[in-house]
Amino acid sequence: RYVPLAVVHRVYERHPAIAAAAAKLPKRSTLTPAWEKDDPKRLVDLMETPWLELSRGRKTSLPIVDLFDTDLVARQKEDALAKLKAAQNPDGGFPWFAGGRSDPYITLLVLAGFSETQHYGVEAPAQLVGRAVRYELGELPRRLKPDQGELSLILYAAYVLTSFPEALSAKVPELAGARTLVKAWLDYADVHADAMTQLGKACAAWAYRRLGEKARSERYLDRAMDGAREEEGVGVYWQPEKLSWLWYNDSVETHAFVLRTLQNLRPKDPRIPGLVQWLVFSRKGTEWKSTKASAAAVFTLLDFMKARGALDKGDAFAVDWGSQHESATVGPEDWLATPLRWTRRAGEIGPDAARVKISKKGPGLAFVSATHVYTTETPAEESAPGLLRVHRLFFKRVKEGEDYRLKPLKSGEAVRVGDQVEVQLRIEAKSQFEYMHLKDPKAAGFEAETLTSGWVWDQLGRYEEPRDSLTNFFVSWLPHGEYVLRYRLRPTVAGRFRIGAATLQSMYAPEFAANSAGFELAVEE
């Protein structure tokens, strides 16, 4: 609690315009902001989804500190520091909970927090830091084991204990003495480099650079960047680590840490904007539910914005939409209650509305999307491959001996009343998304084999809701990857039936959507 309060307080002191803008922001009583209810891009009303309560903002019974209230931030900062000092045990370590046994990871976390505040010009309490460092120097040599978790702790310690500025080292002699031990820890970890995580490699790059070993630092920075992928729209990223809930595998925090390492040790690396793009994009499509990871991401973005001049200069947007020209300017101190949006409706939409050109000048990062909501008698075509894709296939299930095989059906082909038809919905996601709704219309003359709603956990956890005219799939968490959802129908009436496009859309960020092609089936007696 102390770290974000101290940093935000310092940002307010250095940027009065931002402090003045913060005072004007709307107040709320929820942890997260409410979703925009009347977004015209959202194809389904939130009341039809399981996320109506979530969309109003996450509630908590705990007191909320308003980081946009400058006076409250100043008072709470001092209160948090006093509680932090009281929590320190006689041996110098910090426990998970006040009064408990000292823990080396929690103590490193506290030290890393004070190092972070120093980065923004907030002075750290020398006595508290010295006692905590003394505890770590006695505890960590027992952790020299070739285990992934232990190596991660040792490398994190090497990063933290070398992160304090020389001005504080002069006041805390324990910090100066720690560098000799850190060098020994790093050399031990170097022997077991295969057991290092991505976060550990970035920590090693930082620590070796601070010890003056640039060649080793560069080598570990290269290793930390191994496996990075780049995709248009998404940016530069890594696939999530296994056991991603562990602190040293957290995707958002690790990504932010590696980005910050690259910004500081190799500031001209061309992958930096792409790494920032992924970090901001991940917040666009999902919530950051970990306060620790959120803080790491925000601090990293602050560094990036400061380096680009985005804390001092605004951005200018120009929109050329057929004969219509719009513009907008957003300064660093401006608050946008809703995204910039330009809309045309009904008779305003002509042939020239099919093309839109949007340009931006300024140091900031922005995402843009164009959405066309319409109805048509013509069978829809599958949307172009993008960040999301849904491809729908129909099969006739045929029994051969004791087994069944799937015979692919083309649009316009015929099946008979009572045949078993399997529908496959193949989803491709190039990033992680939350609160996804997949709506698959059902032909009028068909009935689903499964008639009850419920959770299904194969491949992709989702809640399935069969209705008379469609089947709903509610997916709370859609990881990066490819997935196939299946269900079966039986035709009950002869005739020729059109089937509308299946639509996949984020309820949290409705500009992310995709649709399948329409389909047609004939049913014979």
* DSSP per-residue letters across 357-387: EEEEESSS------------SSPPPPPPSSS
- Longest CA–CA span in the chain (Å) reads 91
For tokens 């019974």, what's the residue? 61
Read off the DSSP letter of residue 34: P
Cα(185)–Cα(155) distance, integer angstroms: 8
- Rg of the chain over Cα atoms, rounded to whole angstroms, equals 28
Query: How would DSSP label each residue in 255-311?
Result: HHHHHHHHHHH-TT-TTHHHHHHHHHHHHHHS----HHHHHHHHHHHHHHHHHHTTT
Helices and strands, counts by H and E, the chain:
14, 21
Determine which helix (DSSP H) or strand (DSSP E) holds 463, and give its type and residue range. Answer: strand 462-466
Convert the pLDDT of each residue in 114-143 to its tens digit: 998 888 888 888 999 999 999 999 988 888
Exposed (0-12), middle (13-18) or buried (19+): which is 280, by Cβ within 10 Å? middle
For tokens 């990504």, what's the residue? 255
Cβ neighbours of 396 (radius 10 Å): 18
Which pLDDT band, with edges at 50, 70 and 90, does 427 fall under?
very high
Which pLDDT band, with edges at 50, 70 and 90, does 243 fall under?
low
Angle at which helix 2-14 crosses helix 104-119, to 10 degrees, equals 0
Cα(223)–Cα(261) distance, integer angstroms: 12
The mean predicted confidence, pLDDT, of the chain is 89
The reported pLDDT for the residue numbered 85 is 93
Query: How would DSSP label each residue in 105-140?
Result: HHHHHHHHHHHHHHHTTPPP-HHHHHHHHHHHHHHG
**Higher-pLDDT residue of 324, 491:** 491
Determine which helix (DSSP H) or strand (DSSP E) holds 506, and give its type and residue range. Answer: strand 503-506
Q: What is the distance of C-alpha 298 from the center of its chain? A: 12
**Higher-pLDDT residue of 446, 347:** 446
Which residues on neighbouring strands pair with residue 319, listed in sequence order?
A: 326, 358
Which pLDDT band, with edges at 50, 70 and 90, does 242 fall under?
low
Convert the pLDDT of each residue in 167-205 to its tens digit: 887 788 888 778 888 888 898 888 888 888 888 899 999
The reported pLDDT for the residue numbered 245 is 53
Cα(96)–Cα(98) distance, integer angstroms: 7
Top-confidence range, 214-223, 276-285, 332-341: 214-223
Determine which helix (DSSP H) or strand (DSSP E) holds 316, and give its type and residue range. Answer: strand 315-321
The reported pLDDT for the residue numbered 253 is 87
- pLDDT of residue 482 exceeding 70, the answer is yes
Convert the pLDDT of each residue in 30-57 to its tens digit: 888 888 888 888 989 999 999 999 999 8
- Percent of the chain topping pLDDT 70: 98
